[in-house]
Amino acid sequence: MQSATLNEEFLSPYEAYIEGLFSRCAENSPNFGVTTEQFKTSVKNTLSRFLQASTEPASETETLEFLNLLQADDLFMALACANGNERAWWEFDHQHRAHLERIARHLAKTEADAQEVIECVYVELYGTRVVNGERVSKFATYSGRGSLRGWLRTVIWHALVDLHRASHEEVSLDEMTETVGEGMAHASFAEPPPGGEGEVLDQIARNRYRRVTLLAIQGAFASLEDHEKLLLLYYHVEQLKLREIARLVENEASPLRGSFQRRLQSREKNAGGRIHESTIMRWLEKSYSKVLALFKSELESKHGLTDAEIEICIELATQDLAGDSLFQNLTG
Amino acid sequence: MPLGLRLSCGRRVKMENTGKRSAEELKIQELLGAFLVSRENLKSSAAETSYHLDEDSLAVFAEGNLSERESLPVVSHLVDCGFCRHKTAELVRLNLDFAGADQRIPVEDREPSKISEVLSGLLAKIFGTTDEAVFAHQEKESDEKTAEDDEQNEETK
């Protein structure tokens, strides 16, 4: 991590670029009343976060690219609104209110909820809390790294979750998320008790295969790289559709996209073009192949299983899936 | 999609298949899917991670705008934190639902209304009082107006 002083030193070569951004914004919105100092402080804070995100020093090209991607006009408006500038608020309201209302109506169950959320968000954006004599506006947390509308969608989404929580006090979102599937987790194997000696031995063998299958799948998943894990989690746990994942990596600078494309560079045609659902499917398939290879290798090397036994493991696991019993002892 | 509180308790049973894959690969796909759902259901995601991503980072990630440099710790966090991952998934859906709605509306060049006009009604509704605490300048205006009215009333009398 670079210290604050080092950052200040590192940031100085970019002063001129940041001033250029400011001039452009001030020209586009001359009545917003944002000072050069305020704008520079905000951009520098964001830039510091960018630099401190990794221990590797950022190159000048990388840093300039980052600055170039900042939504400077959106940030300028947010800073002006945080200051309480009348013109900026008017433009914000004019440009974004209809969008905010559409999102709120889309997410909320009732029109009343949608209205309540819009009202709460406006109040939060303006800020009613005063710290050290200064009003704290939510706008001050917007960095300009993404679009203002994307950020507003997140704010609305959170506000609705809070509203929902408030009306369902007995169950928080965390609790709801945590308790799903708990019944399944604590259930015992729903299998008939074994009969004769042969059956007992058979059952012991089966249980051994089940145990090593579970360990091998856990190990295989743990061996994947983070971007592969996240892709699989989005697809299987969050149930994102292929087109939704494609949307997530639509931006050419998307880190997930970058990670996959680097790994598959030789085979990926049109690396800079649009990502289609078929590309996501291909990435998933690559991940499954890797998991299969790791799974087999784990069973062979760690548990000394033969190819035939590995086949039994996969077969048993597939049969168990029909009854949902395979992962019931995941905690055990 | 009401409220975006879709809970991921189901399993993706029917997987897409391009037709080129072996039965073994399809089985491991299903096995992995079931494993991930079970693993997730057992985790207490909020308790596992010491922090959660802020709204700004969530929004930037969901838009796919996070730089690679910043993304490494974020991706790593999302693998472990189901709470934040669930939020990003919902935001991705929301962004897709509103794709193309991000065009800016050109602002007409006319006199802006006061910020108080936008907010004062809301504050009064929420706090049940007028917005005195926040809009001191407006309080002054209204005081002046009241004073003027009082003066007029006095004159009439």
The b-or-e profile of A263-274 (16+ CB within 10 A means b, else e) is: beeeebeeeeee
* Helices A226-236, B68-80: crossing angle, 10 deg rounding: 50
Put simply, the answer to whether B75 touches A255 (Cβ < 8 Å) is: yes
Q: What is the tens place of the pLDDT at every residue in B138-156? A: 444 444 454 455 555 555 5
Shared domain check, A308 and A211: yes
Q: Does A210 touch chain B (CB under 8 A)?
A: no
Scanning the structure block, which residue is given the tokens 């004019």?
Answer: A94
Put simply, the answer to whether A255 touches B68 (Cβ < 8 Å) is: yes
Put simply, the answer to whether A49 touches B70 (Cβ < 8 Å) is: yes
- The two tokens of residue A77 are 């408006």
Q: Does A56 touch chain B (CB under 8 A)?
A: yes
Put simply, the answer to whether A145 touches B56 (Cβ < 8 Å) is: yes
C-alpha R_g of chain A: 27
Put simply, the answer to whether B5 touches A161 (Cβ < 8 Å) is: yes
The partner residue sitting opposite A249, judged by closest CB among B42, B64, B90, is B64
Shared domain check, A106 and A124: yes
Separation of alpha carbons B78 and B52, rounded Å = 9
Shared domain check, A131 and A75: no
Separation of alpha carbons A108 and A116, rounded Å = 10
Shared domain check, A242 and A298: yes
Put simply, the answer to whether B85 touches A243 (Cβ < 8 Å) is: no
Chain B interface disruption, residue of A116, A232, A248, most B CBs within 10 A: A248
DSSP track, B81-133 = -HHHHHHHHHHHHHHHHTTT--PPPPPP-SPPPPHHHHHHHHHHHHHSS-STT
DSSP structural state of residue A31: T
User: Measured between CA atoms, how close is B140 to chain A, in angstroms?
Assistant: 17
The partner residue sitting opposite B42, judged by closest CB among A146, A153, A185, is A185
Domain boundary (A44, A79, A114) is at: A79
Put simply, the answer to whether B59 touches A150 (Cβ < 8 Å) is: yes
The partner residue sitting opposite A227, judged by closest CB among B2, B24, B75, is B75
The partner residue sitting opposite B40, judged by closest CB among A109, A237, A285, is A237
Helix (H, G, I), strand (E, B) or coil at A77: helix
Scanning the structure block, which residue is given the tokens 């579970």?
Answer: A214
- The two tokens of residue A26 are 């001030």
Separation of alpha carbons B106 and A123, rounded Å = 25
Domain boundary (A61, A79, A97) is at: A79
Domain boundaries, chain B: 1-42, 44-101, 115-156
Shared domain check, A207 and A93: no
Q: Pick the closest to residue A33 from A2, A90, A79 (CA basis).
A: A79
Q: Which residue from A minimizes the CA distance to B109?
A: A91
Separation of alpha carbons A36 and A25, rounded Å = 10
User: Measured between CA atoms, how close is A17 to chain B, in angstroms?
Assistant: 19
Question: How many A-B residue pairs are in contact by the CB < 8 A criterion?
Answer: 310
Q: What is the pLDDT of residue A125?
A: 95
Q: Given CA atoms A163, A167, A169, A172 in this order, what sign does their dihedral have?
A: negative
Residue A180 lies in a domain: no
Separation of alpha carbons A107 and A118, rounded Å = 12
**Sequence-ordered list of residues with C-beta below 8 angstroms from that of A47, at least 6 positions apart, any chain:** A7, A11, A14, A63, A66, A67
Q: How many domains does chain A have?
A: 3
Q: What is the tens place of the pLDDT at every residue in B116-130? A: 666 666 656 555 554
Shared domain check, A125 and A107: yes
ipTM of the complex: 0.79
Shared domain check, A128 and A46: no
Contact present, A25 and A144 (Cβ < 8 Å): no
For residue A98, the chain B residues in CB contact (below 8 A) are 105
CA-to-CA separations, B22 to A193, A224, A254, B26, in angstroms, rounded = 35, 21, 31, 6
The partner residue sitting opposite A291, judged by closest CB among B32, B86, B134, is B32
- The two tokens of residue A213 are 């299958």
Shared domain check, A206 and A271: yes
For residue A325, the chain B residues in CB contact (below 8 A) are none
Contact present, B98 and A153 (Cβ < 8 Å): yes
Separation of alpha carbons A231 and A215, rounded Å = 21
Separation of alpha carbons A85 and A77, rounded Å = 9
Going residue by residue through chain A (332 aa), what tens digit of pLDDT does each one get? 444 444 566 777 889 999 999 999 999 999 999 999 999 999 999 998 898 888 888 898 999 999 999 999 999 999 999 999 999 999 999 999 999 999 999 999 899 999 999 999 999 999 988 888 888 999 999 999 999 999 999 999 999 988 887 776 544 444 443 433 333 333 333 354 556 666 766 777 788 888 899 899 999 999 999 999 999 999 999 999 998 998 888 766 666 666 666 655 545 555 556 677 888 898 899 999 999 999 999 999 988 999 998 988 888 888 777 665 556 555 43
Separation of alpha carbons A87 and A106, rounded Å = 29
Task: Count the Cβ atoms, other than its own, within 10 Å of residue A312.
Answer: 16
Separation of alpha carbons A246 and A257, rounded Å = 9
For residue B86, the chain A residues in CB contact (below 8 A) are 177, 238
Domain boundary (A79, A110, A133) is at: A79
For residue A236, the chain B residues in CB contact (below 8 A) are 11-12, 32-33, 36-37
Task: Count the Cβ atoms, other than its own, within 10 Å of residue A46.
Answer: 19
Residue A240 lies in a domain: yes
Q: Which residue from B minimizes the CA distance to A83?
A: B115
Put simply, the answer to whether B37 touches A108 (Cβ < 8 Å) is: no
Can you say how many angstroms the Cα of residue A267 is from the centroid of all Cα atoms in its chain? 27
Shared domain check, A26 and A129: no
For residue B25, the chain A residues in CB contact (below 8 A) are 285, 288-289, 292
Q: Which residue from B minimizes the CA distance to A296?
A: B28
Q: Which amino acid is at B43?
A: K
Q: What is the tens place of the pLDDT at every residue in B18-75? A: 555 688 888 899 899 988 988 887 765 444 567 899 999 999 999 888 888 888 889 9
DSSP track, A236-256 = HTS---HHHHHHHT-STT-HH
For residue B38, the chain A residues in CB contact (below 8 A) are 181, 184-185, 327-328, 330
Q: What is the pLDDT of residue A207?
A: 83
Q: What is the pLDDT of residue B113?
A: 55
Q: What is the pLDDT of residue A328?
A: 58
Partnered with residue A129 across adjacent β-strands are A136
User: Measured between CA atoms, how close is A190 to chain B, in angstroms?
Assistant: 17
Put simply, the answer to whether B41 touches A289 (Cβ < 8 Å) is: no
Per DSSP bridges, beta strands A134-136 and A129-131 are antiparallel
Can you say how many angstroms the Cα of residue B83 is from the centroid of all Cα atoms in its chain? 14
Question: Containing domain of residue A265, as a range?
Answer: 190-323
DSSP structural state of residue A56: S
The size of chain B, in residues, is 157
Q: What is the tens place of the pLDDT at every residue in B61-92? A: 998 888 888 888 899 999 999 999 999 999 99
Report residue A131: phi and psi, to 5°.
-120, 125
Put simply, the answer to whether A180 touches B134 (Cβ < 8 Å) is: no
Separation of alpha carbons B56 and A321, rounded Å = 40
DSSP track, A262-287 = HHTTTT-SSTTSPPPHHHHHHHHHHH
- The two tokens of residue B46 are 């909020």
